[in-house]
Amino acid sequence: MSTESNWSNFCDLFLSNEDKTRKLIDKYLEMALQYRLDHKWQLAADNYYNAFEKLIEINKNNEALKNLMLSGECYENCDMVPKAVDLYKICSELYIKTGDIKKTADIVAKIGKLYETYDRHKAVEFYCKAVNYYKSCNELYGQKTYLEKINQIYLDDENFEDAIKTMKDLIALILKQDDK
């Protein structure tokens, strides 16, 4: 061990627990970034998740949520979609608690998009949830976008009854938008 390393370890003895945790978080984030650059997505995801857990410990919730999202994105990149979905579900639940309904809607819509390729019924379920969140925060563009996606899935599945209902909702939304 070098003298510089010994000195660093000695100095660490005087750090507060939060400072030690922060130093560990910085190391996780440094490794996550390096793994991301090397396209080692699962290792990057694991390090972002470790940073998330430590950030929660020191009540840095907003920063923690950002790292949880990054972890989910890395799991997406290595085709571990179920793991990404699980993390996004946690994110959406935590964002609801923060009161950020728009961010919750965005994440729920992202889950729907992930499901769209292999479970279209689940995709519709999450798109409907996203539409409701967008509706609760008066986000017309989000409502329109995901009502259109829901409608397209219904049309592709030849579920014309639900497609007509969704189209009526879309028309009502467009008329509402024109009134503003």
> What are the tens digits of pLDDT across the range 33-73?
999 999 999 999 999 999 999 999 998 989 999 999 999 99
Return the higher-pLDDT residue of 71 and 10.
Answer: 71
pLDDT tens-digit map of 106-165:
999 999 999 998 899 999 999 999 999 999 999 999 999 999 999 999 999 999 999 999
* 151-164 per-position pLDDT tens digit: 999 999 999 999 99
- What is the value of pTM for the model shown? 0.84
Q: Sketch out the chain's domains with CATH numbers.
A: 15-95 (1.20.58), 99-180 (1.25.40)
DSSP string, 25-50: HHHHHHHHHHHHHTT-HHHHHHHHHH
Q: Is the pLDDT of residue 1 over 60?
A: no
